[in-house]
């Protein structure tokens, strides 16, 4: 039997390495897009996904650097030097600034032939309701206007002055800058700022790219400042945030990781006078993770980073098992490896079955992330169980160690505390404390998965970004609309319908402004409709009457307008519209996708509702979508934890009976319930990351309770010692993450820290022979 | 752009000269310079000049407002947000400051003129006034063709304040603006300027 187990273990390890070797030959198929965690059936259509990907790439590749100085020449030279250097090193795409910005008059000349089809929203409204009087008034008011916005040349050919009013609505000239030496420049309070708007060539989130780009950028800017000390350089872009996060995470990980490893090594050495438990744990972890990874690689195309991290975390159970096995060396009655493994086998097996049942419930959900965690954890736990049962006894050459009550005095104190607590007074005190924590904690509990709150962005970079936005006016909200059609015309028509609704939202102060390509060029259908409105209400006798009223000669009119329609293609090549043309994010034979950028979003819900029933319109709020995924996962994880608890209770009832099974499960469940409230009392919030950590607390806590329950009275101190070592190692490995500056990591670590202390403290609750 | 330029000149005429001519009083905080205006626009193709009249207000550092009373009520406001034209309270034309890069220049000139910075104006416009007793006149030909191509010449004249403005355009159009009954009052005494009190 034991040999068969050994052969099985070796076969599975060989199998795992072969699978991993083959699958990883082309790199680890790691998925780190948090949106990939969404259930598949709600996953969006391909065009939306592609458009969002493209937007994300475009946005994250963009960097803006502002070089300022009171001396315009110094600022100009420094900005040119910086851009040329970045271009020369291949960090940015070559600049496309070659195209000249047209003056307003020149842009007017492009639009002028099509003026009969170009009506401002207000003029359209007037003409649709037959309110020609208001059109007359507006035109005449412009003619009377001091200093003459309109001259006779324009009035002669556009007597109703439609074009100036249409022009005032155009989303052009909205930037605050002038062009100096081909670069956008802003002058404020005697200081000249040159704006470098650049697109990175590399992947901004890649630590490799960051390691090349950031040092070069920093060194070069320092050199520029040394050369001209008065210049100021500000920067913004995803690469700077990403680099800050990467370097922060690296530093933290190496510091916390070092402390963890040293602490665990010292602990093992102090207890066992050797490192046998460490390498046994390592073996259990490596075999568990390898098998789990192999199984996941077979089942799933891509492994989600979250599944990998969480799954690997669960391997902490393997470490616990190693400690329990090694602690049996303190037992005088278990002298051989076989006796040692047999002593813990019931607890190990019950722990394994309970965890597998618990994690299998996750696999029943449609959430791919939870499914991966389920598969990873289940397969990994089975493998590490096999390692403990079949391999540990073969490697174990350790002799029995004498248990020193003096050395482990804390264990005795702990044991005595529990034996005294077994009376009614203690139970009532316990109940009162628990109720108090729950009640007060509930009042303070703050459940929030808003990703914007969970991001800990560095203040210095945020301040630079705010200054750049204020100076340049480059500011769009993160939310936007995607509009799709089969042709350009189709897309423009859909966009125009959506804009009518957006105008309502602006009137209701739910939105400040938006930028859409259809304001630049109306659809041909709308241009046609505008012409009809003008000719129905304002031409012929109407025009003659109007010209007579204003005493203008009869030759004035619209006779020389173009019969064709203005198209986006006509504007594409003009430099003035380069930034607006980026709103056209896809243009292929049978698909055209536009983006509508939004400003001053005050009511996300109303915006999300617009076009919700139209398949060709999609409101995108990246931060909201991520937050929503996190909320869904948090709720799902907690619900499944409850379901798993019920199922495991049923299973344990078979062995212990309902009452005692309830007592066994009570300790980990109490730890799970109390932890969020204690965190709330400490001023922390409750997020998706806390919920995921609670699942680990439950799995590990259940093991502590089972080892206590299965322990005989004589060996209880050994189980308590092993539990204590397990809890300490978990706290060293994960609890220390509470010190992290990254909110997600901190929340995860804090939950483990508190949860594990509670689970460990409450574990003897189910022990009958305290 | 040319509207900005023209407004700048009006502002200078009414405030800058006020600073160099001893009789006038510099505007204090909360004070408004106001005057009646009548305007004639002589445009090609029109049988007769387009005439209008109303009230002009200058609120230092805040806005210039042309409130037309006749032939019908309309208002043109120029401030740091841009240009806004309304007819009977209804917006008919709004050009944000972002589309008018010259607006900032206008404001700096306003500042200079209010502080009596005549030297800055001399260098800005490269011109000097001619004096004839209490009267003065100033003729200006724009030298930056790219910015004010449509304006050929501007002539200002007055005594304590500017009284006439003549704007000639390259296409033959010309405007005459007559300003009269200038006064400096506190903004709180003008109910029509409610909203500019602060």
pLDDT band at B112 (very low <50, low <70, confident <90, very high): very low
pLDDT above 60 for B197: no
Residue-range domain boundaries for chain B: 2-189
**Measured between alpha carbons, how far is B49 from A222 in angstroms, rounded to an integer?**
64
A residues 131-150 lying closer than 8 A (beta carbon) to B: 134, 137-138, 140-149
The structure tokens listed for A726 are 């397990």
The structure tokens listed for A160 are 């109703």
**Measured between alpha carbons, how far is A523 from A530 in angstroms, rounded to an integer?**
10
The structure tokens listed for B103 are 């607006």
pTM for the whole structure: 0.67
- Highest mean pLDDT, choosing among A316-330, A389-403, A406-420, A657-671: A657-671
**Measured between alpha carbons, how far is A86 from A386 in angstroms, rounded to an integer?**
55
Which residues from chain B sit within 8 angstroms of residue A140, using beta carbons?
A: 71-72
- What backbone phi and psi angles, to 5 degrees, belong to A275? -105, 15
Residue contact A142–B175, C-beta within 8 A = no
Residue contact A148–B46, C-beta within 8 A = no
Residue contact B90–A164, C-beta within 8 A = no
Count contacts between A and B (CB, < 8 Å): 114
Mutate to test the interface with B, among A131, A145, A154 (most CBs of B within 10 A): A145
Supply the pLDDT for residue B7: 47
Three-state secondary-structure class, residue A597: strand
Residue contact A174–B72, C-beta within 8 A = no
Beta bridge partners of B90: B87
Q: What residues contact residue A203 under an 8 Å CB cut-off, 6+ apart?
A: A209
- Highest mean pLDDT, choosing among A123-127, A348-352, A578-582: A123-127
User: Which of the four CATH numbers 3.30.930.10, 1.10.10.60, 1.20.1640.10, 1.10.287.3510 does domain A1-31+275-402 have?
Assistant: 1.20.1640.10
| B163 in Cβ contact with B157 (< 8 Å) | yes
User: Which of the four CATH numbers 3.40.630.30, 3.40.50.1000, 2.50.20.10, 3.90.1170.50 does domain B2-189 have?
Assistant: 2.50.20.10
Long-range contacts, A579-587 (Cβ 8 Å, 24+): A579/A175, A580/A171, A580/A172, A580/A515, A580/A517, A580/A520, A582/A58, A583/A515, A583/A516, A583/A517, A584/A517, A585/A51, A585/A54, A585/A55, A585/A482, A586/A47, A586/A50, A586/A51, A586/A54, A587/A488
Three-state secondary-structure class, residue A754: helix
| A701 in Cβ contact with A233 (< 8 Å) | no
pLDDT band at B16 (very low <50, low <70, confident <90, very high): very low
Supply the pLDDT for residue A413: 81
Of A250-254, A356-360, A653-657, which range is least confident? A250-254
ipTM over 0.95: no
Preceding amide of A299 cis, omega within 30 = no
The structure tokens listed for A664 are 């066994």
The structure tokens listed for A750 are 């804090």
Q: Give A35 to chain B, closest Cα distance, Å.
A: 38
Per DSSP bridges, beta strands A178-180 and A513-515 are unpaired
Beta bridge partners of B136: B131, B158
* pLDDT, tens digit, 9 for 90 and up, residues A342-369: 888 888 898 888 888 877 777 777 777 7
| B11 in Cβ contact with B109 (< 8 Å) | yes
Distances (CA, A) of B56 to A91, A162, B2, B52, B63: 56, 27, 19, 12, 11
The structure tokens listed for B76 are 């043109």
A404-467+621-770 classified as CATH 3.40.140.10? no
**C-alpha of B39 from chain center:** 12
Q: Taken in order A736, A740, A742, A747, is the CA torsion positive or negative?
A: positive
Residue-range domain boundaries for chain A: 1-31+275-402, 404-467+621-770
Chain B CB within 8 Å of residue A470 CB: no
**C-alpha of B173 from chain center:** 19
**Measured between alpha carbons, how far is A623 from A52 in angstroms, rounded to an integer?**
13
Residue contact A155–B66, C-beta within 8 A = no
Three-state secondary-structure class, residue A364: coil
Of A233-242, A304-313, A562-571, B17-26, which range is least confident? B17-26
């Amino acid at each position: 039997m034991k040999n068969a187990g050994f052969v099985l273990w070796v076969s599975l390890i060989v199998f795992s390495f072969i699978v991993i070797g083959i699958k990883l030959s082309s790199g680890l198929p790691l998925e780190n897009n948090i949106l990939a965690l969404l259930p598949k059936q709600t996953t969006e259509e391909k065009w939306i996904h592609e458009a969002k990907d493209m937007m994300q790439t475009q946005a994250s590749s963009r960097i803006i650097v502002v070089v300022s100085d009171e001396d315009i020449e110094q600022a100009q030279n420094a900005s040119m030097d910086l851009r040329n250097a970045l271009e020369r090193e291949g960090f940015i795409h070559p600049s496309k600034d070659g195209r000249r910005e047209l003056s307003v008059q020149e842009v007017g000349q492009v639009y002028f032939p099509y003026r009969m089809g170009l009506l401002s929203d207000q003029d359209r409204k007037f003409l649709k309701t037959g309110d020609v009087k208001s059109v007359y008034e507006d035109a005449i008011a412009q003619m009377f206007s001091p200093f003459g916005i309109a001259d006779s040349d324009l009035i002669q050919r556009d007597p109703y002055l439609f074009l100036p009013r249409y022009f005032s609505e155009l989303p052009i000239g909205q930037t605050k800058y002038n062009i100096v030496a081909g670069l956008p420049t802003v002058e404020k309070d005697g200081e000249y700022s040159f704006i470098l708007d650049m697109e990175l060539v590399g992947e901004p989130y890649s630590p490799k790219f960051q390691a090349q780009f950031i040092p070069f950028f920093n060194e070069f800017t320092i050199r520029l400042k040394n050369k001209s000390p008065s210049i100021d350089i500000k920067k913004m872009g995803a690469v700077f945030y990403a680099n800050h996060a990467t370097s922060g995470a690296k530093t933290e990980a190496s510091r916390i990781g070092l402390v963890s490893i040293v602490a665990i090594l010292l602990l093992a050495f102090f207890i066992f006078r050797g490192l046998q438990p460490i390498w046994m744990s390592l073996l259990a972890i490596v075999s568990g993770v390898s098998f789990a990874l192999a199984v996941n690689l077979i089942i799933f195309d891509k492994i989600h980073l979250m599944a990998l991290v969480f799954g690997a975390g669960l391997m902490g159970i393997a470490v616990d098992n190693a400690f329990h096995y090694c602690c049996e060396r303190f037992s005088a009655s278990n002298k051989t490896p076989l006796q040692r493994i047999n002593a813990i086998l019931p607890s190990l097996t019950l722990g394994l079955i309970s965890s597998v049942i618990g994690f299998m419930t996750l696999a029943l959900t449609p959430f791919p992330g939870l499914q991966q965690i389920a598969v990873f954890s289940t397969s990994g736990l089975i493998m590490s169980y096999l390692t403990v049962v079949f391999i540990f006894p073969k490697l174990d050459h350790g002799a029995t160690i004498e248990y020193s009550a003096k050395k482990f005095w804390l264990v005795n104190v702990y044991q005595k505390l529990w034996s005294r607590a077994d009376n009614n007074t203690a139970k009532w005190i316990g109940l009162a404390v628990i109720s108090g924590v729950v009640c007060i904690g509930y009042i303070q509990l703050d459940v929030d998965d808003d990703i914007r709150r969970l991001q800990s962005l560095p203040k210095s970079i945020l301040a630079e970004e705010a200054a750049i936005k204020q100076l340049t006016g480059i500011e769009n909200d993160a939310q936007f609309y995607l509009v799709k059609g089969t042709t350009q015309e189709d897309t423009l028509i859909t966009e125009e319908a959506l804009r009518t609704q957006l105008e309502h939202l602006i009137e209701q102060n739910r939105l400040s402004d938006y930028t859409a390509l259809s304001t630049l060029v109306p659809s041909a259908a709308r241009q046609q409709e505008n012409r009809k409105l003008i000719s129905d209400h304002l031409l012929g006798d109407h025009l003659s009457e109007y010209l007579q009223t204003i005493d203008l000669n009869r030759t004035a009119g619209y006779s020389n307008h173009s019969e064709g329609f203005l198209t986006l293609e006509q504007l594409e090549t003009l430099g003035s519209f380069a930034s607006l043309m980026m709103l056209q994010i896809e243009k292929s034979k049978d698909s055209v996708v536009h983006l509508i950028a939004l400003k001053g979003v005050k009511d996300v819900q109303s915006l999300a509702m617009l076009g919700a029933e139209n398949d060709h319109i999609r409101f995108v709020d990246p931060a909201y979508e991520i937050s929503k995924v996190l909320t869904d996962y948090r709720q799902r994880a907690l619900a499944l934890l409850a379901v798993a608890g019920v199922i495991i209770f049923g299973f344990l009832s078979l062995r212990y009976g309902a009452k005692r099974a309830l007592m066994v499960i009570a300790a980990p469940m109490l730890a799970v319930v109390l932890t969020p409230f204690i965190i709330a009392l400490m001023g922390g919030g409750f997020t998706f990351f806390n919920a995921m950590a609670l699942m680990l607390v439950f799995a590990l806590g259940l093991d502590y309770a089972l080892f206590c329950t299965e322990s005989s009275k004589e060996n209880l101190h050994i189980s308590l010692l092993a539990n204590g070592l397990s809890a300490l190692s978990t706290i060293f490995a994960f609890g220390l993450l509470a010190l992290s500056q990254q909110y997600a990591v901190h929340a995860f670590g804090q939950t483990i820290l508190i949860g594990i202390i509670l689970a460990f403290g409450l574990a003897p609750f189910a022990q009958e022979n305290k | 752009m040319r509207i900005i330029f023209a407004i700048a000149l009006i502002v200078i005429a009414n405030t800058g000269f006020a600073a160099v001519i001893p009789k006038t009083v510099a505007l204090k905080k909360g004070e408004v310079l106001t005057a009646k205006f009548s305007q004639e626009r002589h445009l090609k193709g029109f049988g007769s000049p387009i005439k209008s009249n109303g009230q002009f207000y200058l609120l230092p550092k805040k806005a210039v407002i042309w409130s037309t009373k006749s032939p019908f009520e309309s208002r043109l406001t120029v401030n740091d947000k841009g240009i806004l034209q309304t007819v009977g309270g209804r917006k008919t034309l709004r050009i944000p400051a972002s589309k008018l890069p010259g607006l900032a220049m206008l404001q700096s000139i306003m500042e200079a003129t209010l502080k009596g910075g005549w030297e800055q104006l001399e260098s800005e416009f490269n011109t000097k006034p001619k004096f004839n007793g209490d009267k003065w006149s100033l003729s200006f030909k724009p030298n930056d063709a790219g910015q004010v191509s449509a304006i050929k010449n501007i002539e200002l004249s007055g005594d304590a304040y500017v009284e006439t403005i003549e704007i000639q355009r390259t296409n033959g159009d010309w405007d005459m603006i007559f300003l009269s009954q200038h006064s400096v009052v506190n903004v709180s005494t003008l109910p029509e300027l409610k909203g500019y009190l602060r």
